[in-house]
């Protein structure tokens, strides 16, 4: 397709990305050549962050970090599946294995967030029964939250922000529990080489909350 025949909307989106790239080249890359030269030799992040794919919650922006400082995997609802070795494509598990065993990160942070569409769908079960490619992939993925959904729905119902927020924070706890089913995580947390933490970012007010590992409650960071 020629430039003349290209869809104007497609051009607009691409032009926005190219403009951003040019800003990066002039301010992000050229002014930090030494840092990028170091990164060309390898990476040594100390933290892995498991976050949602939601476009509003970029961990690098929220934590204001430079390239190479955090190892990030993002997916619907920031979920970690339980450890299993059955045949399949285990993307989150592969990223976790690489971060913990190869990069030897010191912390793994699971960060949920407010207004999460995946958690809302898990709460309302609105995607159940749909077919792969038309919602079924999401439904199968967020089925990890089925057990956590029951007490939330019993206490708050399945609609409204109190119920949704409770579900969003419950999802973080589910992922933390699933993290502990991985032998490498069990071994390294027991030896003190690795810590796992839960976090929650509220989009509405931009406030980060951290989970207390003993009470499993979330508290705003001052």
Total structural domains in the chain? 2
Q: With cut-offs at 50, 70 and 90, classify the pLDDT of residue 154.
A: very high
CATH number at residue 195: 3.40.1050.10
CA distance 75 to 51: 7
Range of the domain at 13: 1-42
103 and 177 fall within a common domain: yes
Q: With cut-offs at 50, 70 and 90, classify the pLDDT of residue 35.
A: confident
124 and 168 fall within a common domain: yes
29 and 51 fall within a common domain: no
pLDDT digits (tens, 9 = 90+) for 173-219: 999 999 999 999 999 999 999 999 999 999 999 999 999 999 999 99
- For the segment 126-136, the average pLDDT, to the nearest whole number, is 82
113 and 5 fall within a common domain: no
64 and 78 fall within a common domain: yes
111 and 205 fall within a common domain: yes
8 and 65 fall within a common domain: no
Question: Structure pTM?
Answer: 0.91
What is the reported pLDDT for 7? 67
What is the reported pLDDT for 128? 79
The set of residues, in sequence order, having a beta carbon less than 8 Å from that of 53 and lying 6+ positions away, is: 74, 75, 76
3-state secondary structure 111-152: EEECCCHHHHHHHHCCCCCCCCCCCHHHHHHHHHHHHHHHHH
Q: With cut-offs at 50, 70 and 90, classify the pLDDT of residue 133.
A: confident
What is the reported pLDDT for 164? 97
56 and 19 fall within a common domain: no
37 and 52 fall within a common domain: no
164 and 190 fall within a common domain: yes
What is the reported pLDDT for 5? 56
């Amino acid at each position: 397709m020629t430039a003349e025949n290209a869809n104007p909307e497609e051009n607009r989106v691409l032009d926005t990305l190219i403009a951003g790239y040019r800003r990066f080249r002039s301010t992000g890359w050229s002014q930090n050549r030494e840092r990028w030269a170091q990164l060309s030799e390898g990476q040594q992040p100390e933290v892995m962050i498991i976050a949602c794919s939601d476009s509003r919650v970029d961990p690098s922006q929220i934590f204001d970090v430079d390239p190479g400082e955090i190892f990030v995997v993002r997916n619907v609802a920031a979920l970690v599946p339980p450890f299993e070795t059955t045949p399949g494509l285990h993307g989150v598990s592969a990223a976790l294995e690489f971060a913990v065993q190869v990069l030897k990160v010191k912390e793994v942070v699971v960060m949920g967030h407010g207004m999460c569409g995946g958690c809302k769908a898990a709460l309302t079960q609105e995607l159940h029964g749909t077919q792969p490619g038309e919602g079924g992939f999401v439904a199968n993925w967020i089925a990890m939250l089925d057990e956590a959904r029951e007490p939330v729905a019993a206490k708050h119902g399945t609609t409204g922000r109190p119920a949704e927020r409770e579900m969003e924070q419950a999802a973080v706890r589910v992922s933390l529990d699933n993290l502990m089913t991985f032998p490498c995580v069990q071994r390294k947390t027991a030896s003190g080489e690795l810590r796992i933490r839960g976090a929650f970012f509220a989009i509405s007010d931009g406030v980060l909350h951290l989970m207390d590992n003993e009470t499993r409650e979330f508290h705003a960071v001052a």
